[in-house]
Every structure is written in structure tokens, then in C-alpha cells.
Amino acid sequence: MKSTAACLMAVATVVTTAATASAQSLDAQQPTAARRQSNLVFVELGGNAGLGSINYERQIAGTFGLRAGIGFLPGFFDDGTRLIPLLGTGLLQQGNHNLEFGLGVTVAQQLRTHEVKVVGTGVLGYRYQNMDNGFTFRASITPLVSEEGGLFWAGISFGYAF
């Protein structure tokens, strides 16, 4: 697990540095009126928290953002699992249409035993974010990776940027 965590941290550092540098150059080129809204609230079906989640993302440096959410995975023979996705994300912008990418972790807590497991996750997909009214749609691939292996997963979401 330590080697997986170290690898994820190294990749996250590289992505963060690249996204921040790219964001600063893109942000400097945009006129003030056309700048993207900094906050995003959205509901995701599938995605980084299993079956679904409610999420908040904040753009902190141009097109680089931090995201946190909460989801729940019902259990068939237990009380279920709380899932908390935590990611760093970046956007490559072309008006309202964006390529979204990011890395992070999903913290899973089994509610009956309180056992906690941390799995690596990522996001690669399309984001439509209307600059005028804040409507946002996302469709992405969201793999989950742990010591036991990986799960190819995907998600769609709808939200509001402000």
C-alpha cells in the first residue's frame, strides 16, 4: 500500500504542477468577463464514489481545482459503506467545452465495523460548463485502484457553477 500511495502522490504532484502552470497562462489570456465560475456543486451517478455522490469543487488556480464529495454504497449483508472522493482536477478549456483530468483518492468507511480503506482514483472526461448560466454536465472515466486490483468505472453528473 505504501508503494501505491507513493506512486499516486508522485503522479499527483506532476499533474498539479502541469495544471497550475497551464492554468496560469490560460487565465492570464482570458478577459475578466469570460473567466470561469470558481465553485461547482454537482450530483454524480457512478463516478469516483461508486453508485453516486454529491460533490463540491473549487477552482483555486485558474483551471486547477480541488474536489470533495460524499457517497454511499448500500450493503447487501451489512450496513453499507460511506465513500468520500478527494481529487485534484485540471481543465483544458475551449469555451464551454473542456477536457477534465485529475487524480486523488476515495476514502471508504464500512459503517458497521468502521473499517477504513483508501483507494486511488482518477478522472478523465468531458465537461460542459455554460459560462452564462452555470449549468454543468460531465461524463468521465473514473477508475478505482487498490492493492486488490482495479475497477474500470465511469460516471455522469449534472450541476451548477457559480
- pLDDT at residue 14 above 50? no
Sign of the dihedral defined by the CA atoms of residues 141, 47, 130, 27, in that order = negative
Q: CB-based burial of residue 159 (10 Å sphere; 0-12 exposed, 13-18 middle, 19+ buried)?
A: buried
pLDDT at 75: 82
Q: What is the pLDDT of residues 80-134, one digit of tens each?
A: 999 999 999 999 999 999 999 999 999 999 998 999 999 999 999 999 999 999 9
Q: What is the pLDDT of residues 20-49, one digit of tens each?
A: 444 454 444 444 434 568 999 999 999 999
> Can you give the pLDDT at residue 77?
65
pTM: 0.77
Measured torsion, CA atoms of residues 53, 161, 39, 30, in degrees rounded to the nearest 10: 140
Q: What is the average per-residue pLDDT within 63-71?
A: 97
Residue 130 has a pLDDT of 96
The Cα 27–Cα 114 span in angstroms is 43
